[in-house]
Structure 1
């Protein structure tokens, strides 16, 4: 046991973020690593038991965390994303959810041996996937935009629907089995659900109006949103349990579609908080499980139930609900397979386990075991298979990490051509059709729009590109682009051309201190790079071998040579900058911009041979 509650809080945070890092480092599903870590420190080794140690605070902490996670996910649900996806998303979230509820309930009754009452409650709950498990999988798998958006929308929309279906089923059961049936409870449930949706909309509109009119200062905007989210969830949840999830979803979607710039600005901060919460909550939930719960998972009935839910109920509900929706067979296969359950299923099932047991349904005692079995097996199966299956179905964007170049000019077009030659995905973005003429004539992929435009955010697929290079003639614009996209791409993957000014010996602008890394070297501004292209400089690939090492290469290179990027044997790219610490080794390929002297020497030698 840990020495204090403070130490346990520290340990949970450390284990959660440590699991995320381990998953990133070895390219494993984060939720799998977190679940295994929680089981090790909880029921297996008995180091912590958050449910017992936190006492009454445990359920409240979990509930608030789930509300914030669901809100952050719904904050990404802009209706502009639904262009071309409206029909499949609507079908899956309505018809598909209903089919999954009915089939899941039948499976729970006939296979898991649950009574009809308990089966319909758990059947409603298990239609959820949820952002806590879907978002990490989407980040890891690099799916193409269409299936990725469908899974994201389904996960966030169906999350509150599943909880409400479980509550609805419970109210119906209570009504039908009551000796003196009273329809007031059912009316209260529907009224509370409608109130929760309206209240969430009002909270979203209210906080959005305050932001737009300047009633909330910048430094208070993120704290204000979090407080309103908790208020929105708590009030709705106090009126009717689990309607709080519907309320925060409505609030998030309202804010997402109001077009408020400050909401977009704080999105990355909220994403960071969400990652921290997901990490901590998964550790807490799995560490709080009992050993007998884990052992009971291997009951044949529970294993049979889990397998049917994964291989029959989910695929059937997707295939039946998406008939005529425009989805391809491959997309149906992928969406029909990927349905990992997560935090909402675990937390809500534990609530219904106690409520149904108190109501006299003794078989409800196995709900926690049943839920964890489904959660654990789906997380493992879908976490490890999504990347492989996406590649097999040609729905993955996997490949060499691509580069998105902002600014079309002679240098960037030649740089893009060299990347294409190295089989690296590349695209040039510029808002000038005239400047893009160079890219068009060279056959380089391009996108005609301002990189900072809202239209670019919704219409340009940025998934294939892990690096961003801003190389326009405006140093201020380059710095702004890098600052804007640094949270999305990461500090080490965002570059700008040097703002160096030879007349002053350094940059005369403050932007040299702002934005991404300076590309190549400080003394290589865009004007110089373009001038080198006009003078006939060429892009040359040089492979470092045991016979021709990096030291020899440095001795042979011309003084005017500019190192551009490094291609590792794995296909990974590393752009040169003064902050780069990697030393090229055997097997690495250096791409540089070199004077055409060697090319001239080759031509002269060839001409002499021909004579």
Structure 2
């Protein structure tokens, strides 16, 4: 066992974030690694048991963390995002959820051997595919926008519905099996659900109004939101257990659709907090499982139930609920397969296992085992198959990572053309139709709109692009672009042209956001002037016979190194802050003086003169004859 609670907290966070890093480094499903890590340090090696060690604080910690995660996910549910997808999302979140509940409950009764009471409770619980597992999978799979949005909306909307269905099923069963049925409990449940939704809406509107009216300073906005989220969740949950999830979801959706300008900054902060909480909670939950629970997983009835839920119940509920929608067969197959269960299922199942046990249901102890079996199996199966299946069904963004260039001018258009030649996706964005004329004439893909506009956010699909270059003539705007999109693209994938002019380094803009492309001495004016002097973009292949060192020795001293294209399709842009080297198989793209071109022109002119002399001599010879 660990020496202290403090050491255990440190170890939980260290293992959680460490699992996330290993998953990112080796392109593996993070949820799978976290689950395996938790099992190893918990029931397998016996190093910790968070549920026992934290005691009475364990459940409140988990509940608050789930509330914050669900709220952060619901902040992304802007109605503008599902234009054209409203009908499928509504059908899957209502009809599909209901079908999944009924079919899952029947399967739990006849295959897993649960009583009808436990079966309907667990059936309601297992319709959830929450943000704790869906979001990490979507980040790693690079899906096309339609299936990604459907899975995201379903996961966040159905999360509280599943918990409420489980509560509703228990209340109905308690009412029907009671010796003296009393409908007041049912009325209380429905009233509490309405109260939770209204409370969430009121909290969202209230905090949003305070932000817009300036009653909360910038440095207090994130702490204030966190406090209100926890308060909203706790008040609703104290009335009826699990209605707190509905309250925080309603609060998040309300805030997301109020159009608050400062919400984006808070969203990025909350994404980071949510990532930390997901990492820690998954480690804690899996480490708290008992060895007996793991051994029960291999019961034939439980294994059969898990397989039927994955291969029959989920696909059938999706296909039936989406009849008459515009979803393609491939989209239905994909959404019908991807349904991993996560933190909400694990946490809520423990609560219902205890109350069903107290109510006298002897099979209540199986609920935790079945929940873990379904969670772990779906996380592993869907985590490893989502990328492969997306490619097979043509629903992934295949091809090389793309580059999004903000600003249309002579240099950026020629840079985009060089990217086209190496078959890398590229797009130029500019708010001026006149400036975009260069891109249109050159045949470069373009988008006419303001990059920082909310409309552009929903009209321009940025998923194919991993790199962003701010290349306008306005240095402050370039810095703002880099600052805004750094959380989305990553610090190492956001670049800007040098803001310095005449080697002056006192401009503070140069130190704000984004890596400076190539060299801080190479401003946009300088690069455009080189093109005016007929500099050209040239590709050079590095081989075993022609090394990178030889290339650096042979290149002209005025050559500007642009980027390296790897055989995998990934690019490394040259910057002063990043050490870039090329290996055999790489292609170096550079802006070079037109030495070769001038030699070709001189040779062509010389050939023309020689041909002219020859023709003249032949004509003179013919005349003399």
Structure 2 length as normaliser, TM-score?
A: 0.96
Name the residue aligned to 2:615.
Answer: none
Name the residue aligned to 1:302.
Answer: 302
1:62-461 aligned at under 5 Å gives the runs 62-461=62-461
Check whether the contact 2:51–2:288 (CA below 8 A) recurs between aligned residues: yes
Name the residue aligned to 1:596.
Answer: 594
Name the residue aligned to 2:530.
Answer: 532
Check whether the contact 1:501–1:508 (CA below 8 A) recurs between aligned residues: no
CA–CA separation in structure 2 for the residues paired with 1:460 and 1:60? 41
CA–CA separation in structure 1 for the residues paired with 2:57 and 2:359? 24
Name the residue aligned to 2:574.
Answer: 576
Check whether the contact 2:297–2:303 (CA below 8 A) recurs between aligned residues: yes
Give the match's secondary structure for 2:538: strand
Deviations 1:365-419 (A, max 9, x none): 1000000000000000000000000001110013211100000011111111111
Give the match's secondary structure for 1:266: helix
- 1:453 CA drift (Å): 0.7
Give the match's secondary structure for 1:469: strand
Deviations 1:39-83 (A, max 9, x none): 000000000100000000000000000000000000110011110
Match of 1:558 among 548, 551, 556: 556
- 1:587 CA drift (Å): 2.0
CA–CA separation in structure 1 for the residues paired with 2:264 and 2:80? 15
Give the match's secondary structure for 1:566: strand
Give the match's secondary structure for 2:530: helix
CA–CA separation in structure 2 for the residues paired with 1:604 and 1:394? 50
CA–CA separation in structure 2 for the residues paired with 1:454 and 1:426? 21
1:443-592 aligned at under 5 Å gives the runs 443-502=443-502, 505-507=503-505, 509-592=507-590
CA–CA separation in structure 1 for the residues paired with 2:371 and 2:87? 30
Check whether the contact 1:49–1:288 (CA below 8 A) recurs between aligned residues: yes
How many residue pairs get aligned? The number is: 609
Give the match's secondary structure for 2:63: helix
- 1:507 CA drift (Å): 4.2
Check whether the contact 1:65–1:277 (CA below 8 A) recurs between aligned residues: yes
CA–CA separation in structure 2 for the residues paired with 1:445 and 1:455? 19
Deviations 1:177-233 (A, max 9, x none): 000000000000000000000000000011111111111111110000001000000
Structure 2: any 5+ residue segments left out of the alignment? 612-625
- 1:602 CA drift (Å): 3.7
CA–CA separation in structure 1 for the residues paired with 2:169 and 2:577? 59
- 1:546 CA drift (Å): 2.2
CA–CA separation in structure 2 for the residues paired with 1:599 and 1:87? 58
Q: Please, what is the CA RMSD of the aligned residues? A: 1.1
Check whether the contact 1:521–1:577 (CA below 8 A) recurs between aligned residues: yes
Give the match's secondary structure for 2:429: strand
Q: Which moved more, 1:185-194 or 1:407-416?
A: 407-416
Structure 1: any 5+ residue segments left out of the alignment? none
Check whether the contact 2:556–2:592 (CA below 8 A) recurs between aligned residues: yes
CA–CA separation in structure 1 for the residues paired with 2:256 and 2:173? 37
Q: Which moved more, 1:582-591 or 1:140-149?
A: 582-591
CA–CA separation in structure 2 for the residues paired with 1:469 and 1:25? 24
CA–CA separation in structure 2 for the residues paired with 1:415 and 1:587? 21
Check whether the contact 1:196–1:246 (CA below 8 A) recurs between aligned residues: yes
- 1:600 CA drift (Å): 2.4
CA–CA separation in structure 2 for the residues paired with 1:158 and 1:362? 29
- 1:117 CA drift (Å): 1.0
CA–CA separation in structure 1 for the residues paired with 2:602 and 2:366? 83
CA–CA separation in structure 2 for the residues paired with 1:370 and 1:547? 60
- 1:337 CA drift (Å): 0.4
- 1:338 CA drift (Å): 0.3
CA–CA separation in structure 2 for the residues paired with 1:67 and 1:311? 30
Check whether the contact 2:574–2:580 (CA below 8 A) recurs between aligned residues: no
CA–CA separation in structure 1 for the residues paired with 2:51 and 2:604? 79
